[in-house]
Amino acid sequence: MIPVRGYEGKTVAVLGFGRSGRTAARALQSGGARVVAWDDGPAGRAAVEEEGLELRDPARQGALEEVDLLVVSPGIPHLYPAPHPAIAAAWEHGVPVDNDIGLFFASLGSSGWARMDQPPRVVAVTGSNGKSTTAALIHHVLTEAGKSSQLAGNIGRGVLDIDPPEDGGIVVLELSSYQTELARGMTPDIGVFTNLTPDHLDRHGGLGGYFAAKRRLFSEGGPDRCVIGVDEPEGQYLANQLVEGTGDDRLIRVSANRKITRGWGVFARKGWLSEYRKGRQVGTIDLREIKGLPGAHNHQNACAAYAVARTLGLAPRTIAAAFETFPGLPHRSQLVAERDGIAWINDSKATNVDSAVKALGAFSRIRWICGGLRKEGDLSPLVEAAGSVVKAYVIGREAEAFATELKGIEAEVCTTMARAVERAAEEAEAGDTVLLAPAAASFDQYDNFEKRGQDFAVLVDALT
């Protein structure tokens, strides 16, 4: 655990008592703070009492008297669509508001680092799509290379729950926009931006606010080196803001669709990853047969992970060997079964149109299971990307409306996952890929995308 420093003998209120809130409370206590906590749900409040903490609703009149800090869980809105009443009360009373990410960066360093040969470093990964795979791949490469690495943040363990990093240790963080938006301080050694597509727009007041939340990691964090995906205008803008010129090695540009030969660049074309530096090719990897990284979207993830590994001193051949053993992540282009010549792929994490478009581009002869709780925007990009789709099997409470928008695609309204898997199994032929890539959230039928993916995997397993 990383003890939170700076609040010894002070009172800190924790709002939201899920994974991050509970860990933050323990880390604050470990650092000597007095912690009070609150959760809007009865289960969360019961967890506060189980932890032996005082239950205190910070939105209640007078509850913030003598409170020095309010620590907020990521899912609680603090600006759009409207501030949570407790946060509004904190601002009204001049109480600082932070989250576990801000506490982590403020508390990570210790006096013992001065005696280390190589102080620990932090790699922080953000973006819309691919950040989980990129973070996990970086961690995998480092571990395979014999480096001491911990994976935390929006994936793996909570940031304050990790072990204090040892000499030469590396902490790899996946950070969502919810986490980067509020953190009062972020100081990673290496910052990674994968891409930007519309998501969480109500939470951030539109696309500009969403990008601004991601951009804070770089504009206010000041990483020593930045790895930036430049396949969208936002990434190109961000790269432009970070360097003095093309020869500035503080920036590595990455792309999944075009060559980058000026400055330092890593790109993938036709399944080949290439690294260029000062106009010379200095590394290359054939990604086409790496099962854990299928499709152009995963090739972009590979480029970003490769760039980080190179920054940390690993040789191209070492990175290539580690890529070969990467198993992929659950619910992200995950091969759950292959039988009778039919591949069954779980990409339940494809919760928006853009991520589903990328999944559709990774396979041929697709029988596509899609649908769920619709997000903002139309489905026309899916139609344009569905050239390899043989048939769609639509799930969700609004399956009929979803299917109607898939113009030109043969679509069957199945509503339930069980029915969709059953119909796909009846109709699939050798050479087909049955792909779960919903292009929608899961909350109309499942608690989260993990539960949806697990249901798909269980149903596929039951076919045997």
**Binding-site sequence positions for ATP:** 127-133
Say whether 78 is catalytic. no
Q: Is 226 helix (H, G, I), strand (E, B) or coil?
A: strand
Supply 21's token pair.
């809130």
Question: Nearest-5° angle of CA 5, CA 8, CA 13?
Answer: 90
CB neighbour list of residue 361: distance below 8 Å, 6 or more residues apart:
295, 296, 297, 385, 388
Supply 371's token pair.
């649908």
Supply 182's token pair.
């509020």
Say whether 131 is catalytic. yes
**Sign (positive/negative) of CA torsion 145, 146, 147, 151?**
positive
Instruction: Please give the Cα distance from 78 to 273 (Å, whole number).
Output: 41
Q: Residue 239 gets which letter from DSSP?
A: H
Of 341, 354, 365, 353, give the one whose Cα is nearest residue 435.
365
**Binding-site sequence positions:** 127-133
Instruction: Please give the Cα distance from 272 to 285 (Å, whole number).
Output: 6
Instruction: Please give the Cα distance from 64 to 73 (Å, whole number).
Output: 17
Q: Residue 53 gets which letter from DSSP?
A: P
Instruction: Please give the Cα distance from 73 to 85 (Å, whole number).
Output: 14
Instruction: Please give the Cα distance from 169 to 190 (Å, whole number).
Output: 14
The catalytic residue among 84, 139, 140, 200 is 200
The catalytic residue among 131, 139, 140, 358 is 131
Q: In whole angstroms, how far apart are CA 115 and each of 112, 163, 166, 357?
A: 6, 18, 11, 49
Say whether 200 is catalytic. yes
The catalytic residue among 154, 301, 346, 352 is 154
CB neighbour list of residue 226: distance below 8 Å, 6 or more residues apart:
190, 191, 192, 193, 218, 238, 239, 242, 250, 251, 252
Q: Are strands 280-286 and 334-339 parallel, antiparallel or unpaired?
A: unpaired
Question: What is the set of active-site residues?
Answer: 131, 154, 200
